[in-house]
Amino acid sequence: MEAGNAIRIVRREESLRSVQKEGTRIRLLYENEWAELLATEVEPGNSIGSNDFWGFGAVHLVVEGGLLLHSSDSSILLLPGDSITLGRGKKYRISNTTSSRAVIWSLLFKKPEQVFDPEAQTRREKNGGGL
């Protein structure tokens, strides 16, 4: 097997970390050089902001509960199954205005050139480009 195709198993003790502050808990589920996968719990009446995600570009998926996302130009209610993509440096706050705990999973892009763009492949194909 070539070194570039080697399988690497990341053990829980190698990547799992947790940050807890009043009303919120962030757990690092996975990390590599370009991305982090987080599980964040937000208790009722609490919020978390873009600075808590280190200003990285992110895709947030609501797993449980409901959250209100506030940015400079809008406020959006997010329910289980909803996801939102936010660019690097975008300022926002996610608030739990419900009476129960909310959970979001977040994929953070640590390098500026990394961007989640689900339509990129479609655009390349329309323009005659490959992968």
pLDDT at 65 over 50: yes
Does residue 3 sit within a domain?
no
pLDDT of residue 73: 85
- What DSSP state is assigned to residue 15? H
Does residue 4 sit within a domain?
no
**31: which 2 tokens?**
């990390």
Which residues 6+ apart lie within 8 Å of 55 measured at CB?
88, 89
Within 13 Å of residue 62, how many CA atoms lie on the same side as its CB? 21
Q: What is the pTM of this model?
A: 0.70
Triad 47, 59, 16: Cα angle to 5°: 75
For 23-60, the pLDDT digits (tens) are: 999 888 888 888 899 999 999 999 998 888 877 889 99
> Containing domain of residue 23, as a range?
13-126
* Tally of structural domains, the chain: 1
**85-92 mean pLDDT:** 87
Domain of 66, CATH number, reads: 2.60.120.10
Among 50, 14, 46, 8, smallest CA distance to 29 is for 14
